[in-house]
């Protein structure tokens, strides 16, 4: 059954990173790097360092989620979703936590390299982001148990990563990458929303107070649709009216069919099993939207129009 598959060998280690969520790690780095072209040249060593560090942090955050959800009894063998390294694949909780810590340590080493070649402020921002990644499901008051999980995920994985990426290439902060980060932050936050819509019944039984649980599934889906409409309108506003805008940014509108499909799947699905396609569709939307935005920025950077 989809969402309850068992994995062995290398597959169980790959599934531990939750590959379908890693779009939230690489898309902000791509967008942040592409926005650099309007102001400076790309430092490829910094690009690859930032990309690897971000993917390590995102993967480790997923592992912390796996570990703490298991410890709190949220995951079981029949749980539906991308979790399952412990409950289905037989990995020990200790191994999961150890790999997560190793990934964080590797990201920290890369972060030091980036800091040495940029600014200590990058290190501070990185430490805060890593702390949020751990506290999302760890600690006495996990962020994922509150109505603000989507906000934290979108802001730190979207806006903060894009701003750091832009800064390590240019050495400056600018309003343009901040504006560009807002639609990306929305799509990343909505990845969490889709996950919480799927898991709302089990989350409610466990005592979580997510936004979805507080407002109910119908309003959560409507909110998802409204935020995505805002994201497209915001891109159009930047493209048409802002000094650093370009019509190339409207390439993101090619993802609208995927947006419609995603919201439709979220609205029609009810059980966790039925909502797995909606989760996959939201991840695909985040990727398509982000890649099209990156392409638009690259074309703008090379043509200046």
For residue range 208-255, what is the model confidence (pLDDT) as tens digits? 899 999 999 999 999 999 999 999 999 999 999 878 889 999 999 999
Indicate whether 3 belongs to any domain: no
Q: What pLDDT shows up at residue 2?
A: 45
Average pLDDT over every residue of 146-155: 94
Instruction: Let me know if residue 264 belongs to a domain.
Output: yes
CB 25 within 8 A of CB 165: no
d(Cα 167, Cα 40) in Å, to the nearest integer? Answer: 11
Please report whether residue 20 resides in a domain.
yes
The CATH number given to whatever domain includes residue 76 is: 1.10.600
Task: Categorize the per-residue pLDDT at 137 as very low, low, confident or very high, splitting at 50, 70 and 90.
Answer: confident
- Asked if 23 contacts 286 with a C-beta cutoff of 8 angstroms, the reply is yes
Full-model pTM: 0.90
DSSP 65-134: HHHHHHHTT---TT--SS--TTTTT---HHHHHHHHHHHHHHHHHHHHHHHHTS-HHHHHHHHHHHHHHH
Instruction: Give the position of tokens 């902000």.
Output: 28
Tell me which of 4 and 39 has the higher pLDDT. Answer: 39
> Quick one: which of 15, 194, 190 has its CA closest to 99?
15
* Under 8 Å between Cβ of 17 and 85: no
- Domain contains 4: no
- Identify the weakest region by mean pLDDT among 16-20, 64-68, 102-106, 153-157: 16-20
Give residue 117's domain range.
10-303
User: Does residue 1 belong to any structural domain of this protein?
Assistant: no
Domain count, the chain: 1
Q: Is 2 part of any domain? A: no
Indicate the DSSP class of residue 207: T
In a domain, 5, yes or no: no
| Residue 101 clears pLDDT 90, i.e. is over it | yes
Phi-psi region of 2 (alpha: psi -120 to 50; beta: other; left: phi over 0): beta
Instruction: Kindly state the tokens that stand for 276.
Output: 């797995």
Phi-psi category of residue 41: left, alpha or beta, with phi > 0 → left and psi -120 to 50 → alpha: beta
pLDDT at 205: 84
The percentage of the chain sitting over the pLDDT mark of 70, rounded to a whole number, equals 91
């Amino acid at each position: 059954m989809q969402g309850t598959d068992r994995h062995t060998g290398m597959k169980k280690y790959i599934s531990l990173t939750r590959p379908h969520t890693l779009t939230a790690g690489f898309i902000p780095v791509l967008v942040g790097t592409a926005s650099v072209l309007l102001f400076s040249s790309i430092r490829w060593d910094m690009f690859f360092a930032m990309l690897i560090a971000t993917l390590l942090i995102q993967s480790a955050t997923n592992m912390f989620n796996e570990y703490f959800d298991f410890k709190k009894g949220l995951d079981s063998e029949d749980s539906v979703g991308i979790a399952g390294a412990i409950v289905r694949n037989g990995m020990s909780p200790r191994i999961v936590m150890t790999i997560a810590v190793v990934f964080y340590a590797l990201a920290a080493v890369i972060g030091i390299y980036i800091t040495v070649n940029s600014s200590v402020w990058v290190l501070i921002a990185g430490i805060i982001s890593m702390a949020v990644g751990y506290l999302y499901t760890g600690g006495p008051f996990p962020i994922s148990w509150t109505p603000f999980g989507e906000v934290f995920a979108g802001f730190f994985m979207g806006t903060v990563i894009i701003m750091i990426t832009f800064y390590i290439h240019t050495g400056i902060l600018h309003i343009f990458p901040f504006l560009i980060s807002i639609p990306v932050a929305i799509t990343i936050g909505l990845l969490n929303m889709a996950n919480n819509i799927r898991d709302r019944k089990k989350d409610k039984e466990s005592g979580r107070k997510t936004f979805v649980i507080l407002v109910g599934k119908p309003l959560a889906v409507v909110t998802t649709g409204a935020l995505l409409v805002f994201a497209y309108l915001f891109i159009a506003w930047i493209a048409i009216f802002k000094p650093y805008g370009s019509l190339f940014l409207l390439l993101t509108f090619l993802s609208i069919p995927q947006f419609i499909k995603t919201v439709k799947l979220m609205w029609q699905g009810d059980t966790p099993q039925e909502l797995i396609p909606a989760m996959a569709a939201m991840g695909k939307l985040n990727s398509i939207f982000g890649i099209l935005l990156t392409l638009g920025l690259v074309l703008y950077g090379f043509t200046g129009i």
